[in-house]
Every structure is written in structure tokens, then in C-alpha cells.
A and B are shown apart, each in its own frame.
Chain A
Amino acid sequence: MIKEGKFGVHEAVCLVIIAICNKIFSTTPGYVTRTVGTTAWYMTLISCITAIAFFTLIYLLLKCFPGKNIVEIYDASLGRVVGFVFSFLLMVSFLLSVGIYAREFTEIMKTYALPATPPSVIIGTLIFTASVAVFLGLETIARVAKLALYPALLGYFLILVFSSEYFKLHNLFPILGYGLDKTVFTGILRASAYDEVTILAVFAGSLQGAAHIKKAGYTSLLLSGFIISLGLLCFSLVFEYTSIQEITIIAYILTRGLKYGTFFQRLDPIFLLLWIITTTIYISILLYTTVSIYCKLFRLQDARPVAVPMAVLAVSIAIIPKDFSSVLSVYVEGIRTYGNITFFIMPVIALIVAVIRKKKGESECAD
């Protein structure tokens, strides 16, 4: 098995928060508002609670197999063949996420910051940086995530505080949006927005025991829910929901519109730096997770030879979508809709099977 090193709860929390919360800078707020109207800010809390529920089941699964990661657990619980299929699907999900988010990021960069730069250059450099991170290892990525989170959160909250001048409370109404049932239903479906918490199960061996995983998982989900909800609330307070639905990158437009005096205006440089740094780390985390699952799946000792081929695959996936609208409507939406299956439902199946098998006396899960 590959040596991934160890990291603590703090690093794990930062890793997961960066992976989950990076979406607030992307097209997600616009899409969510299109679906549920003014209720996006508390719909995400419903998603968060659903994700917590799923994570509890994942935690129970990890607790059944102490010291094992999700790939080993799938093998132990479902048998080598079915376990292999489950792990492979998980790896494919992560690989698709790398490609699609890299493409989404590239399209936004082209629209707002680098209109003349070819997409291949942006995708290539982004994936190259992620590949370097894969070479350097999980410990390194976790440490950089920890270092980057503090300035990222500081910048994020500064933007939200500066935007308070433009808050209009009536923008939050109608408070029930398109109906409570729709909000709750969408909230449960979009629990996949928090599916990156599954990386804790992939790196279970690097965290010191199930208690640390539990602490890291719940803390990161709660903090992520708070950060995303607060951001969506601010967006809703500043812009009417009909406007948000039309805007691709709401966070960028918000920062661009900030103005305090004649000189202190347009905070989009802060936004760009934060967004690019967190996205690069996010893509690195996803690529490393993909490589790690692949190595565990095929019992490889060294992750480095897999890094470059996997990066090439990620670039290939990133250039498949025809245009930006297809990236959003087909691919990103596809990951959001079906992500629940690979990230949350499959571990639950493994847990159920483990419990049933335990009744047959093979494991400790029945206790």
C-alpha cells in the first residue's frame, strides 16, 4: 500500500472545507438560486444536515473496520469483485470531478480575467500544479490547505462585511421561495455539494483513528455549511434573486461592485487571488484522491508513476465538453445529481452488507 503519511484533525478539516466551500466562488450560487429562489441560503443548510446524516453512516462503516480505508472496506464488506467495482466507480467520480471543475474554472477565467488565453493553457497549468502536488504527497497538500485557509477565510469574510452596505432585507422575501417542499427536496438532493467529505474515508489510514475522522468530518461539514450559507445569504441580501439567476459568478460581480470612497473600490483582485488559490488546492486534493484510490485499488506501492497518466486523463475529460453552457447544464449538474450515489449511497450499501454479514458472524458490526 502507498505511504501517505499522517495528518491531524486540523489539516483534515481545512482540506475538506477548501474542497467543499470552493463552490461558493463558482457557478453554484447562481444555479441554486435558479432552482429554489430566495431560499438558497437555508436550502444549503438542509443539504448540510443531509450530508451529516450520510457522513454518520460512513463513520459507522469506518468504525466497523478500524484502520482501514474505504477501498479496503469495500473489499472486506462486499467481496473483491463488487468491492473493486464500487472503488473503481468512486475513483471515476473523483476523476470526472477533477476534469469538470477544471473546465468550469477555465471557462470562468476566460470570461472574466484571461479572455485571450487559450483554454488548454489554463487547464494544462492547473492540472500541472495539481500533479506536482500529487508527487509531493498528501501531507504536503494538507499543510498547504491549512496555510491557505486562514487568508482565504479572512478575505472571504472581508468581502461579505464590505458588502453589508448594500444589503436590502426585502431581497430575502418571499422567505419560502418557490415553496418549502421544493426547498427541502432540492436540499436533500443537493447533499452532493458536500460529498467531498468522503475524502476522509479514502484517507482514513492517514488520520489517527475513527474518533479523529468523526471529529474532522462533523467539524468540517458544520463549518462548511455555515460558510456557504452565510455567503448565499449575503448574495441574496445584495442582489434580487432574479438577478442572481442571471449572473454566472455572483461572488465576482459582488466584489467588483464594492466601492468605499474614490480609491478603495473593486475588490475583485482579492477575489481572483482567493478563488484561484483555493481552486488549485481543490483540484490537487481531487487529483490526489483519484490517484490514491487507483493505487489502493491495484495495490500499487508508489503513487508517482500514476500521477502523470491520471493528469492526462483529467485534461482529456476537461476538454470534452463543447462549451460553457454544456459544462454547467450537463456535466456539473450531472455530478451534483448523481454524485450522491457514488459518494454517499455506495458506502451505505457497504455498511448494510457489513451489518448483515456480521449477523452471520464475520465482523463486529452487529454490536
Chain B
Amino acid sequence: MKTITDMLTYKEPKNKELGFELLEDEVQSAPKQSSKSPKHPLTVEEWNEGRKAENTEDIVSTELRANLEVIRQKFLMPKNRDIIIREFKIGRKVKAFMVYIDGMMDKQTLNLSIFPQLMSGDVFEELGEECPVNYLMENILTVHDVRKTNKYSDAVMQILNGLSALFLEGSGECILIETRGFEKRNVEAPKTETIVKGSQEGFTENLRTNVALIRRIIKNENLVTEMLSVGNANHSNCAVMYMENIANPKVIQEVKKRLERIDAAFVLGDGMIEQFIEDNSFMLFPQIVSTERPDRTASFIMEGQVVIIAEGTPFALAAPVTFFGLFHTSEDTFVRWPGGTFLRLIRIFGLFCATFLPGLYVALTLYHIEMIPTELLISVAKAKELVPFPTLLEVLIMEVAFELIREGGIRVPSVIGQTLGIVGALILGQAAVAAGLVSPLLVIIVSITGLGSFAIPNYTLAIAIRIERFLFIFAGAVLGFYGISLMAVLLSYFACSMKSFGVPYFVPVAPKTKVNPDVILRYPIWTQKERPDALNTPDRKRQGDNPKLWISEDNRDEKGKGGNT
């Protein structure tokens, strides 16, 4: 009853605003990310009030026994068998214990660099009046990264991240020692974005490795890496990377805001994060670009986009993104501009084939036969003569079979997968034609459609196109060209209404913005002097006014030589 009432009654839209928009004057109006705190200094009363409000149960005790008990409770010991609590005496005097997770830490570091020093008899020989925790951090622990905390929650979180926590008798703080070391995959060539010319490095599942791969490419002190935790239960780490003076502060804030406000128990990897932070969940097209390549990620950062790298998957996300950006690959930049332009045109042709070809075939053969040239019509008629199915069913059989082959090829082991693809495509198609189930022409059409969808460089976009293809097949079957045109306009409406982090999806064409000569056609690299206008970056210049300074220098030298002679 309530549903029916809701359908019949008008309700004010919940969100009257148009959502996050990146407008022209946003850079100026955006609040500056100042290092100074905007808060006024606290008074003594305010400080004491704040202390009272703090959860005293979360504060590390000065009694070692109490700390040990809390840690055991927090990690559900003794049920939890992979949590190790190593009790010992520092310098044979002060009782202490170290907590870490088996398999998450580097045993060599613990065995060779930490325990021998701590358990040596002369540890506290030079200890004066100072705090033992500070003394240990400054004089004894020869590890590259140590810090202290007085909160159990912080200690527990860091232990879960692979650090070791050292608790001392009589100290209300514990020392967190960087001992992370777990099994990880080596850097290998990317599997989903292979290219002929260019870098052959891909991301791994390790966050630190991925961040380092980007740092290796962008050697700039303004490259910022902020670490955030997502997932209320699994506390997965993710890095937000951007160039401080290039990325729009509004976009950075928006990305961080969306990440911080994910209220879900389990968030793993870029795929889940993408779904939580994208603007329009019900649209087919991707609104955040995902890449497996560090070089491409670095170029996104240098363009002014904000990159998110999540723990556990070898991919990085970049936002905002436009439709035309989804056709770009690293190879476009590495090959000369005529080659880059040609490759992009081929991809767009592939997109057209992948989207429209089967639908147009259905529309032509069902509704507009008179539009087919006579010779071709005879071929089509001959081919279809022995096929018992109606055209729509015939196309659907082939398309579904193709999708099955593709999906099956991905799921089975790689060696069999290749074989399955060949067996499926060649033998099954041939057998279907021989059995008179489908016409040979249709096999050609489905093959070209498949090749077209393989030419689309973005996997998420390719999936969207595969779904849209079926919509066009049905539209063509129901209303011919009219149906296909209506469906094209309808999908264009939805696509054009989309925004990616405030940037319209079809920018710089619709709406028109200042065009950098690298949208569909790719001009020579030295003409691409500015960053995309739609990203509204504080620093628009990508290159100097004369990126090929050597030309003017050579001319000057020539003139100089001429003058001498």
C-alpha cells in the first residue's frame, strides 16, 4: 500500500543540488590546504574536558600485566593462534613483551636487529633521568621506522598491519616497530594492459610496492601520498596520490571525503572502492578509470587527476575521467603521433562495430531488406536459406555462445583458455554453420563484433558495450533502424547526464571546453602544452611555450657560425 501511495504522490527531491560540480572558479574559491590548524589554542579547562571525554579504557596502562591482559582479550587469545606475544626482560632488568602476527612480520629483523639489542645486558647502562621508551627509540632500536603510542586501538591496528608493538613495565606508552615483511608477488608485466612499446611493469597486490613504483616515475617532492583506511571491519589501507600544485583541491577533498564516508564492513580492492565512490551507480559506463600500469597512473597524476591505490589488487583508480580518456593507452604516448592517432581511430571503429553491428544486421534483415544492395541481399538470402531459426534467435545464439567462450576462456587455466578460445571460435562456429544452425555471414558479423570489443582498451567500458550490444539487438528486432536510433539517443542522454567527480562525461566536446590536442586525434607531443581544461587544475601549463628549445638554440648557433665566417 505504501509503495502504491509513494508512486502516486509527489515528493520533493531529497537532493535539490546537482551534486558535486567542478566549476570554473573552483580553484580560487577552494579552501587552501594549509599546514596551520584553523583551531584556536585550547584553554586548560577545555583540555581537561577533552581528557575526560577520552575513552580511558583505550589508554595504555603503566602496569605490564594489565597491558598483557588487554592485548590478550583484544586478540581473542588463546583462540587466535597466529598472534605471538613474546615476553622477555630488556637489559635483564625491565619486564617487557613484544606483540606481532606470525607471517606478517620479517623474522630476520626481529631476530637479528631487535631482540639481541633489547636483551643485551648493557642496554640501560647510559639511561639517565629520561623516559625509557624515548631512550630505547633513540639509542637501542636500530630499525628504520619506530614510533610510540599510548592507545591500544592504534597499537592493535598497527599490529594488524604487520608492525611489532613493544610494551614495557612502568610505561604508559608502547613502541611500534616497523617489522613488516610478508610474502608478496614480484613486479611483473601487466596482464590486462599489455602494450608493444613502453614500460612492461605492472602493479602488484602490495600497496607499498605500488606506491614506490609511482614514486620511481615521478621524482617530485610535491607528489603527496595520503593513507586512508576503508572498511569498518577489515580496515584495508588505501593510498590517495596527487600532485599538490597540479590537482584541484576540490577534487582531492571530494575523493577523500567519499573514501572516508564509506560505511561498509568489508571493502577490498579497487573494484569495491570504485562502486562505493562513483557518482552514478546505475549507469553502464565507468566513471573512474582503472589501470594496472604505473606509467599510466603517473601520467594521470601529472594531468591533475587524483589516484587511489587499494591494498590487495594490482590496480589503481584515477578520477575524474572522461569518455574520451577511456580510449587512451600508454602506447599512444610512446609511439609517434600519426601512429597514436591511427590506433585511437581503430579503437573507435572497434567500439562502433562492437556496439552496433549485430543490431544493424538484425534491423536490416528484418525491416529494411530493400536497403541491402542486390548482390549482398542474394548472398544473405542464400546463407539464411537453410537456417531454421528466426534472425533474432540466430543472432542471440551466436552472441551468447561468444560470451560463453569469452567467459569460459577467462575462468579456465591460461594454457587451456587459449585453446578454448580457438576451439570455441573456429570449430564451434564452423560446426554451427555446417549444421545449418547459423548463417556464415552471421559468424563473420559476430567475429568482427568480438574483435571490436577486444579493441576497447578499458575493460569496464568493454563490459558496458557488451551489455549495450544486446539492447541494440532487441531494439533493432522490435523497431528496426528506428529502434536502434532511439536506443542510441536514449543511451546518449544517460551518458551525457553523467559526471565523474564534477566533470561532465563528454567533455571537451559536450560541453565544449578548451581543447588540448589529445582527445581523439593525437597531435605531436610538443603541441600538447596544456592540461585538460575540464580538470580545472591550478597549474594549467604542461609544457613551456617552446617545448623544443633546442630548435631556437640551434638557430642561434647557426647564426653565430654564420657571423663568424
Assuming the A-B contacts A5-B18, A7-B511, A266-B371, are A136 and B489 also in contact, with contact meaning beta carbons closer than 8 angstroms in the complex?
no
CB neighbours (8 Å) of A139 from chain B are: 496-497, 504, 511
> 1/0 per position for B354-383, CB-CB distance to A under 8 A?
000000000010011011010110000000
The reply to whether A11 and B511 contact each other, CB–CB distance below 8 Å, is: yes
Assuming the A-B contacts A113-B367, A114-B367, are A129 and B486 also in contact, with contact meaning beta carbons closer than 8 angstroms in the complex?
yes
The reply to whether B482 and A113 contact each other, CB–CB distance below 8 Å, is: yes
How far, in angstroms, from A45 to B376 measured CA to CA in the complex? 42
How far, in angstroms, from A183 to B512 measured CA to CA in the complex? 39
CB neighbours (8 Å) of A305 from chain B are: 10
> 1/0 per position for A248-276, CB-CB distance to B under 8 A?
00000000000000111110110011001
Please tell me if B480 contacts chain A, counting CB pairs below 8 Å: yes
How far, in angstroms, from A263 to B493 measured CA to CA in the complex? 35
Which of A137, A140, A281, A301 has the most C-beta atoms of chain B within 10 angstroms of its own C-beta? Answer: A140
Q: Which of A11, A113, A148 contacts B512 (CB 8 A)?
A: A11
The reply to whether A281 and B489 contact each other, CB–CB distance below 8 Å, is: yes
Please tell me if B234 contacts chain A, counting CB pairs below 8 Å: no
The reply to whether B10 and A280 contact each other, CB–CB distance below 8 Å, is: no
Assuming the A-B contacts A262-B373, A268-B371, are A146 and B510 also in contact, with contact meaning beta carbons closer than 8 angstroms in the complex?
yes
Min CB distance A263 to B, Å, is: 5
Please tell me if B481 contacts chain A, counting CB pairs below 8 Å: yes
User: In chain A, what residue has the closest Cβ to B494?
Assistant: A136
Assuming the A-B contacts A10-B512, A113-B367, A280-B486, are A272 and B481 also in contact, with contact meaning beta carbons closer than 8 angstroms in the complex?
yes
User: In chain A, what residue has the closest Cβ to B483?
Assistant: A125
The reply to whether A263 and B482 contact each other, CB–CB distance below 8 Å, is: no
The reply to whether A146 and B492 contact each other, CB–CB distance below 8 Å, is: no
Report the contact-size class of chain B (Cβ under 8 Å from the partner): 35 or more
Q: Which of A147, A272, A273 contacts B496 (CB 8 A)?
A: A147
> 1/0 per position for B463-501, CB-CB distance to A under 8 A?
000000000000000011111111011101110110000
How far, in angstroms, from A137 to B371 measured CA to CA in the complex? 36
Min CB distance B8 to A, Å, is: 11
Assuming the A-B contacts A147-B509, A266-B371, A302-B12, are A273 and B485 also in contact, with contact meaning beta carbons closer than 8 angstroms in the complex?
yes
Assuming the A-B contacts A269-B371, A280-B489, are A122 and B18 also in contact, with contact meaning beta carbons closer than 8 angstroms in the complex?
no
> 1/0 per position for A296-320, CB-CB distance to B under 8 A?
0000011011000000000000000
CB neighbours (8 Å) of A5 from chain B are: 18
The reply to whether A269 and B492 contact each other, CB–CB distance below 8 Å, is: no
A–B complex contacts, Cβ < 8 Å, 24 sampled: A7-B511, A11-B510, A11-B511, A109-B482, A113-B480, A114-B479, A125-B482, A125-B483, A133-B493, A137-B497, A140-B496, A141-B493, A143-B511, A144-B496, A146-B509, A147-B492, A263-B375, A263-B376, A266-B373, A269-B364, A272-B481, A277-B488, A280-B486, A284-B489
Nearest 9 A-B pairs (CB), nearest first? A276-B485, A143-B510, A146-B510, A143-B496, A10-B512, A140-B497, A136-B497, A280-B489, A147-B510
Which residues of A are interface residues toward B (Cβ below 8 A)? Answer: 3, 5, 7-8, 10-11, 109, 113-114, 117, 121-122, 125-126, 129, 132-133, 136-137, 139-144, 146-148, 262-266, 268-269, 272-273, 276-277, 280-281, 284, 301-302, 304-305
